Structure 1
Amino acid sequence: MSDKELELAKIGKEGRVEKWRLVPSGIGNAANSLTTEFGSNTSEVFDEDGGRVNVIPITVNGVPYQYVPFGVDNMLPYKVKDTLLDNMVTAQCQAYNIMTCYGQGIRFVNREDFKDTDNREILDFCLRNSLHECFLEQCTDMKFYYFSVTCVILSRDGKKIVNVRNKDASFCRFEYAPSTKSGNIEHVFFGDFRIGHFDEQKIEVIPLLDFWDPLGDLEVRMGLRPDPETGLFRFPTGQRKFAILSRMPTPGLQYYPMPYYTSVFRDAWLDIYRLIGISKRFMIKNTSAPRIQIEVHEDYWDNVCDNEMISDPDKRKERKEKEKRDIIEFVCGVENAGKALVSGYYIDPNGKENRMVRVSTITDGSKKEGGNWSDDMQEAANALCFAFGVHPNLVGATPGKSQMNNSGSDKRELFTLKQAVEKAFHDVMAKPYHVILHYNGWSEKYTVDVPMIQLTTLDENKDSEVVSGQANKKGSEDGDD
């Protein structure tokens, strides 16, 4: 055991007997460390701006633009991410939400039977673009920020979309709409906007296709259909990279949607869970050390030095400190279990026994500390799971606890319900892929689907089966595209 972890603190003196207590090193600064450790409220993560829109000018390649920061200080997405990933329950809830949203991944399927297509051109497109990773990145952005930005890249001749890439939502910023000629958001700015990392020269400006009709906007820009405002065909643009915005609707007109789970930042439960964990840690750390009181006769230290014939003042001081460390090591060292401490004593004229060193325990070592808030911790964990739309039974909200053992049928139904509510996310995230299907001329025979995993019962002799999200929509795909 390191002598830096525990130290002897003098707590008083009774006659010629000094009283020492074994305490964690640095206990004198406990108040400051506690304040720092407990931190501030998570309600401060979101800045209330009273509905005002902040605008920041930016110049990229000599062209001036204006964009809307993500949060008052442009750091909101990073604060949200860090806060959620610092909490064991919210991090696992988000991971679970992302996995269930992914389902079986985005698939290009035949319109006739909704089976995976064997069209060689489509298969090559999926392979060249790592489509599953791209879709999983979309799911991550959607679950954290409720929007995703997908870039489509055209061939040199502009006849086909050959690449699709997801842009991390936390590094995307939207143009200030009133600053454009059309009054709409015309560009997405992609780059590192973190404080201390921002560099205008490294910001990428990507044209944003119309939110409601990205396919029509793309075809107008490429001269494939007339401009609805003028009725004339435009000269094809030389731009080959465009952004498509997919976002979940939320109340209010906001540049960046506010996910429903953000209520945990304004509510108290995220703070409650965090404070319970910190409190339990401090309790365990402060009570797991032996609560020992050591009484040492004031002559004991000099006797040790005299017995070893140490006369130099500095060496006597060093020897006394070493003796203190030896006492700590003896009391706390596991290897000293069962050993005895030998020290002298004398009988005073009144017949009272006076020991040179006395070690006494002041707490019950068999008492288990740290379990005071177990029920509160489970309650807080369940509240957080509720905020993220995850049933605690599916993720194990309180590790080590098994008080909510639902039946297999209940869990199967919970899992099915969870995947069913992801349908809205799937439809929104499929927007870029429908644009690809139509622009590349594949939409007549093929469509996209996100199959779900359907858990089965034991009598079916299989663990699970794949259920198409389009299973009940045959004959109505054109309206959904």
Structure 2
Amino acid sequence: MYRWSRYVNGTVKTELIPFKDAGLLIRNRIMEIQVQIDQQKAESGEEQGGGGTITWSQAVSGEEQKDTAQVGTPEYELRQLREDYRTWEETDKEWDKFCENNNLELHYLKCMTDDAHMDIYFPTIGLSIGRKDQEWDPKIVKLGNIPAVCCRMEEMDERMRINYVYYAEKWRKDATPKLERKDVVAYPTLMPENMLTELRRQVEKSKNRPPKKRTTWFCCPSYYPSMLKPYYPQPAWWSIFPSMTYDYATTLITDKAMARQNATMWGKMIFINNEYLRAMFDEMGADTTEAKQAVRDSIYKKVNEFLQRRENNGKTICLDSFVGPDGKTMQHAVEIVDVPQLTNSRDLKEELSEISSVVFFAIGVHPSLIGSTPGNSGSTGGTYMRELQLLKQNQLSTRQRIYLRFLKNIYTFNKWDKHGEIVIRQQTFTTLDRSATGTEETESTL
């Protein structure tokens, strides 16, 4: 974005406009000032009897005309606008090329992903190497990112400065692997406290070296400060592990899964009346123990097969009944009883809701911002959601500014237009009377 300031009725008004449109704005402003100067000259000529007048210095032949514009005059403003236009034109070309060579959106996402999980990320910058027969005046032309899980920082020197960051792919899978010299890459480091100063110092050291021996890649760690952690900050979400909150949450899910598996082991129980069995034994002529067991198994098998088949769902099964030995009580030959479930889903739901709230609190995310959470299926109003989103954006604004400071340092080192502003676009929830989609775009600046 291009920061455009103007003086109106005793106050300074500043607005951000797209950087591409700034050229059109400056050109038209130059035309307006030029018209104003021409009008003043025309009025001055009429008062002096017509005709143009020149100063003595302009009349002296062979001498170059000097710029005598004073601050506050239209001539001075015209000169400043022409300088601004030349600077804008150069910056616009270089910025377009910089964006073509670097995916800024992906770079931001990689850095913020490491920042969200580790509270630290390791962006890298690459300088133009220059030519052997020219003075080296480098610019930052490449951006990169090293995964935080694969990085280790060198111990601070006596000046409390970290000089190198080490990268090894083996650290991705193992915290303490066996490393050889060829497995580790060392990056000269520029700490965020004095990134520009250190970068200029490194450039000055390499200025007189041959192009191939110049240091052109640097790592620029950025981090969210953590008390008593001078090297690697400790994220707030890590507290769920020493407090066993995570273990408790996973145990709830495991217990529910085991209860579900055990609940499906015993669905129904089948009872066969002993009097009915004796009558069946007599009818079938089962005199031996083996014959009686065969009759009993046959009855169980028929009832069980009927209950197991899906196509019998909703159908009726006909079973015998008879009068008991007392001659009064009606008894069932076969009785089918459902096994009751012993799990209390309400208690489990409350526990899931409680433990998930603790986990989300450690992560720094309100459960309502991500929709339905374990144990909670309710909904919230739009006003409450907008307030939560604004609160979350305010919490993230400090981290965004740390990243914007990194990009601002690049912008300053490359000597680009001082009116330029790097912004992060983000969507904000709003009311439907302000936007038909319910969202509006805002910019986060340094």
Identify the TM-score tier after normalising by the shorter chain: 0.5 to 0.7
List gaps (5 residues or longer) in structure 1: 1-108, 226-232, 301-306, 308-320, 352-356, 471-479
Q: 2:409 aligns with which of 417, 435, 440?
A: 435
Q: Within 5 A, what are the aligned runs for 1:61-460? A: 109-112=1-4, 113-118=15-20, 119-157=92-130, 159-177=138-156, 184-193=162-171, 194-195=173-174, 200=180, 201-223=182-204, 238-294=214-270, 330-337=306-313, 360-361=336-337, 363-364=339-340, 370-399=345-374, 401-403=376-378, 405=380, 407-442=381-416, 444-460=418-434
Equivalent pair of 2:270/2:300 in contact (CA under 8 Å): no
Q: Note closer, same or farther for the CA distance 1:296–1:402 as it changes in structure 2 (3 Å cut).
A: closer
Mapped to 2, the partners of 1:142 and 1:202 lie a distance apart of: 25
The amino acid that maps onto 1:184 is: I
Q: Note closer, same or farther for the CA distance 1:370–1:285 as it changes in structure 2 (3 Å cut).
A: farther
The amino acid that maps onto 1:259 is: P
1:469 aligned onto 2:444: yes
Q: Note closer, same or farther for the CA distance 1:267–1:234 as it changes in structure 2 (3 Å cut).
A: farther
Superposed displacement of residue 235, structure 1: 5.1
Q: Note closer, same or farther for the CA distance 1:363–1:205 as it changes in structure 2 (3 Å cut).
A: same
Equivalent pair of 1:450/1:468 in contact (CA under 8 Å): yes
Q: Note closer, same or farther for the CA distance 1:286–1:333 as it changes in structure 2 (3 Å cut).
A: farther
Equivalent pair of 1:382/1:397 in contact (CA under 8 Å): no
Q: Note closer, same or farther for the CA distance 1:296–1:135 as it changes in structure 2 (3 Å cut).
A: same
Q: Note closer, same or farther for the CA distance 1:443–1:256 as it changes in structure 2 (3 Å cut).
A: farther
Mapped to 1, the partners of 2:377 and 2:306 lie a distance apart of: 41
Mapped to 2, the partners of 1:174 and 1:122 lie a distance apart of: 32
Q: CA RMSD in A?
A: 4.4
Equivalent pair of 1:419/1:452 in contact (CA under 8 Å): no
List gaps (5 residues or longer) in structure 2: 5-14, 21-91, 131-135, 278-283, 285-296, 328-332
Superposed displacement of residue 419, structure 1: 0.6
Larger-Rg structure: 2
Q: Percent identity?
A: 23
Tell me which of the two structures has the higher relative contact order, counting C-alpha pairs closer than 8 angstroms and 6 or more residues apart: 1
Mapped to 2, the partners of 1:263 and 1:400 lie a distance apart of: 22
Q: Deviations over 1:102-130 (max 9, x none)?
A: xxxxxxx2233433423232123123211
Superposed displacement of residue 143, structure 1: 0.5
The amino acid that maps onto 2:369 is: L
Superposed displacement of residue 375, structure 1: 1.4
Mapped to 2, the partners of 1:328 and 1:185 lie a distance apart of: 76
Equivalent pair of 2:353/2:375 in contact (CA under 8 Å): no
Q: Note closer, same or farther for the CA distance 1:344–1:451 as it changes in structure 2 (3 Å cut).
A: closer
Q: Structure 1-normalised TM-score?
A: 0.59
Describe the SS at the equivalent of 1:213: helix
Q: Which has the higher helix share?
A: 2
Mapped to 1, the partners of 2:165 and 2:217 lie a distance apart of: 11
Equivalent pair of 2:125/2:142 in contact (CA under 8 Å): yes
The amino acid that maps onto 1:192 is: K
Q: Deviations over 1:292-326 (max 9, x none)?
A: 345699xx9xxxxxx9xxxxxxxxxxxxx999998
User: Size of the alignment, in residue pairs?
Assistant: 341
Superposed displacement of residue 234, structure 1: 7.1
